[in-house]
């Protein structure tokens, strides 16, 4: 029987579920912080925030989150050359814990910059190497790899789902100061943002302890040493060789950079969720359901919730005969088109409020239906599942084994440029209007998706059999 067929029928190794749990708690920490960051930046000092104007806050948010995807390039290189993936994961997690703790302890501009700096550095060590460990669990050519990354992706999104719910509850309810306005309506006078950051720190600590206790049992020697280990996807005999790259390897690396280029535009639109969409939700979406006003931070859990629900469906579908016939360029191009379609629903929210493209009502008393926002997140999620886990898996399969860590860092650096660009885009919402920004992003990413699909045959030829 064909080895790939046999592999496809095997259960996933237990190490996958250890990495699943570790990644889940790290994402709990990161998204717990990120879910409240934009609100923390823009609320007044009396409200428990740092009183930045929305434009400045969008730029801080965009560049800070973007840099968390730049440093993985460096962290991947250090892991490949010096530390190994396991030590890098532990070091990165500890530094991220320190960053969250600083945000908890120092509610000042200096505390913000120091905390974000530590999170950026720590994420650089953690993120590329936890993903590379997934690839290292499987033999070269194993058909289970796309499914494995979908499962891993479900784990990190489970953490991302739980985090804003908990931090939002802490900031807007348990540790918030409540009062009444001049008209006798219940309002929040001050938010407990520091306690949200404290919860994020605890989440990171839990992830570190799980990895320390069970890594040796379920991972063996995988990732213990730079370039060493068993004959896996990320750790083959070729890794120990200093031979120059072959023509086939060069073409595969070129494909990684092409996907990297298109991914920038996808994530620049997708990451509006934490900036422009968050502020739009806070000001212009009716968040009251059955008399309860949903904390704005909770909406950062909508996308991860859809991921958790839909990732098993996609993981199963990629393993079917039809799913295996779909090429990577087609999957990723479809993902970009769906992202663009999602912004159509936000234009619906603008129209419901009496606006049009270029004309945005500013009266916060006029609210749009919650359904527009939910439909946007649903469509974006389906697009994300077509692109992000598929991209992770493809980078693993296309990378020369000795360059697995650094090329994973390159892939993640797409999000650096995307978040920086996304922050700049979000900063123009006030100036140009949300409708103009949403329409422009939508049209551009749809065109990018169509271009990727048109390049399908060329890219497939350069991938030399990898789908």
Does this model's pTM top 0.95? no
Structure tokens at 108: 């000042």
Q: In whole angstroms, what is the distance from residue 279 CA to residue 38 CA?
A: 8
3-state secondary structure the chain: CCHHHHHHHCCCCHHHHHHHHHHHHHHHHHHHHHHHHHHHHHCCCCCCCCCCCHHHHHHHHHHHHHHCCCHHHHHHHHHHHHHCHHHHHHHHHHHHHHHHHHHHHCCCHHHHHHHHHHHHHHHHHHHHHHHHHHHHCCCCCCCCHHHHHHHHHHHHHHHHHHHHHHHHHHHHHHCCEEEECCCCCEEEEECCHHHHHHHHHHHHHHHHHHHHHHHHHHHCCCCCCCCCCCCCCCCCHHHHCCCCCCHHHHHHHHHHHHHHHHHHHHHHHHHHHHCHHHHHHHHHECCEECCEECCHHHHHHHHHHHHHHHHHHHHHHHCCHHHHHCCHHHHHHHHHHHHHHHHHHHHHHHHHCCCECCECCCCCCCCECHHHHHHHHHHHHHHHHHHHHHHHHHHHHHCCHHHHHHHHHHHHHHHHHHHHHHHHHHHCHHHHCHHHHHHHHHHHHHHHHHHHHHCHHHHHHHHCCCC
Burial of 456 (0-12, 13-18, 19+ CB in 10 A): middle
The pLDDT value given to residue 29? 94
Distance CA 342, CA 345 (A): 6
Residue 180 CA from chain centroid, whole number: 38
Rounded Cα distance between 377 and 121, Å, is: 29
The reported pLDDT for the residue numbered 9 is 56
Distance CA 336, CA 443 (A): 10
User: What contacts 2, CB < 8 A, 6 or more positions away?
Assistant: none
Q: How far apart are CA 227 and CA 240, in angstroms?
A: 7
Q: What is the pLDDT of residue 236?
A: 46
> How many Å apart are CA 447 and CA 289, to the nearest integer?
37
- Write out the chain's pLDDT in tens, 467 residues: 444 444 445 788 888 999 999 999 999 999 999 889 988 999 999 889 999 988 898 889 888 988 887 888 888 888 888 888 899 999 999 999 999 999 999 999 999 999 999 999 999 999 888 888 887 888 767 777 767 877 887 788 889 889 988 998 999 889 888 887 667 667 788 889 999 999 999 999 999 999 999 988 888 888 788 754 444 444 444 444 566 878 888 888 888 899 999 999 998 888 888 788 888 888 889 988 888 888 888 888 888 889 888 878 887 887 788 887 888 899 999 999 999 999 989 999 988 988 888 888 888 888 999 999 999 999 999 999 989 888 877 887 888 877 776 787 778 778 888 888 888 888 887 788 888 888 998 999 999 999 999 998 898 888 877 76
* Main-chain phi, psi angles of 331, to 5 degrees: -60, -50
Which pLDDT does position 234 carry in this prediction?
46
Contacts of residue 415, defined as CB under 8 A and 6 or more positions apart, other chains included, come to 66, 68, 69, 263, 267, 271
**Token code pair at residue 464:** 């030399």
Measured distance CA(16)–CA(318) in Å, rounded: 18
Q: Residue 278 has what pLDDT? A: 86
Q: What are phi and psi of 190, to 5 degrees?
A: -150, 140
Cα–Cα distance between 210 and 272 in angstroms, integer?
A: 32
For residue 101, the model assigns a pLDDT of 97
Place of tokens 């500013």: 362
pLDDT attached to residue 235 = 47
CATH number among 1.20.1250.20, 3.40.50.2020, 1.10.1240.10, 3.40.640.10, domain 10-463: 1.20.1250.20
Tokens of 97: 């814990």
| pLDDT at res. 242 | 61
Distance CA 197, CA 111 (A): 12
Pairing status of strand 292-293 against strand 288-289? antiparallel
Q: Of 38, 34, 260, which Cα lies nearest the Cα of 160?
A: 34
Closest CA to 95 of 76, 77, 109, 75: 75
Domain boundaries, the chain: 10-463
> What per-residue confidence (pLDDT) applies to 446?
94
List Cβ neighbours of 139 (8 Å cut-off, separation of 6 or more).
3, 7, 231, 232, 233
């Amino acid at each position: 029987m064909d080895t790939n067929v046999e592999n496809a029928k095997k259960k996933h190794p237990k190490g996958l579920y250890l990495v699943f749990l570790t990644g889940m708690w790290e994402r709990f920490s990161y998204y717990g912080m990120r879910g409240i960051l934009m609100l923390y930046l823009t609320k007044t000092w009396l409200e428990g925030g740092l009183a930045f104007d929305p434009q400045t806050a969008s730029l801080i948010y965009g560049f800070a989150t973007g840099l968390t995807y730049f440093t993985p390039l460096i962290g991947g290189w250090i892991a490949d050359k010096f530390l190994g993936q396991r030590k890098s994961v532990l070091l990165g997690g500890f530094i991220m814990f320190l960053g969250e703790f600083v945000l908890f302890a120092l509610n000042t501009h200096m505390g913000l910059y120091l905390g974000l700096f530590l999170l950026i550095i720590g994420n650089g060590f953690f993120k590329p190497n936890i993903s590379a460990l997934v690839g290292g669990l499987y033999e070269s050519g194993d058909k289970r790899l796309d499914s494995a990354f979908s499962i891993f992706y479900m784990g990190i999104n489970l953490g991302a789902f739980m985090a804003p719910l908990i931090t939002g509850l802490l900031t807007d309810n348990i540790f918030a100061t409540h009062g009444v306005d001049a008209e006798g309506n219940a309002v929040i006078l001050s938010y407990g943002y520091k306690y949200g950051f404290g919860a994020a720190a605890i989440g990171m600590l839990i992830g570190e302890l799980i990895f320390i206790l069970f890594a040796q049992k379920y991972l063996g020697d995988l990732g213990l040493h730079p370039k060493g280990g068993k004959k896996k996807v990320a750790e083959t005999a070729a890794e120990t060789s200093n031979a120059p790259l072959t023509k086939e390897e060069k073409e595969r690396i070129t494909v990684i950079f092409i996907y990297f280029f298109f991914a920038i535009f996808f994530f620049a639109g997708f990451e509006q969720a934490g900036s422009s969409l968050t502020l739009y939700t806070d000001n212009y979406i009716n968040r009251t359901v059955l008399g309860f006003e949903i904390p704005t931070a909770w909406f950062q859990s909508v996308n991860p919730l859809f991921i958790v629900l839909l990732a098993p469906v996609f993981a199963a579908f990629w393993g079917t005969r039809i799913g295996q016939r779909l090429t990577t360029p087609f999957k990723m191009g479809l993902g970009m088109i769906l992202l663009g379609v999602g912004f159509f629903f936000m234009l619906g929210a603008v129209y419901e409020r009496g606006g049009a493209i270029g004309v945005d009502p500013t009266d916060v008393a006029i609210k749009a239906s919650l359904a527009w926002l939910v439909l946007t997140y649903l469509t974006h999620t389906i697009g994300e599942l077509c692109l992000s886990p598929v991209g992770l898996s493809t980078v693993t399969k296309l990378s020369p084994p000795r360059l697995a860590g650094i090329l994973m860092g390159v892939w993640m650096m797409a999000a650096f440029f995307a978040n920086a660009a996304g922050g700049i885009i979000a900063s123009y919402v006030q100036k140009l209007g949300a409708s103009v920004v949403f329409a422009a992003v939508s049209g551009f990413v749809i065109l990018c998706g169509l271009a990727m699909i048109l390049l399908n045959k060329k890219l497939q030829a350069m991938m030399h059999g990898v789908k």
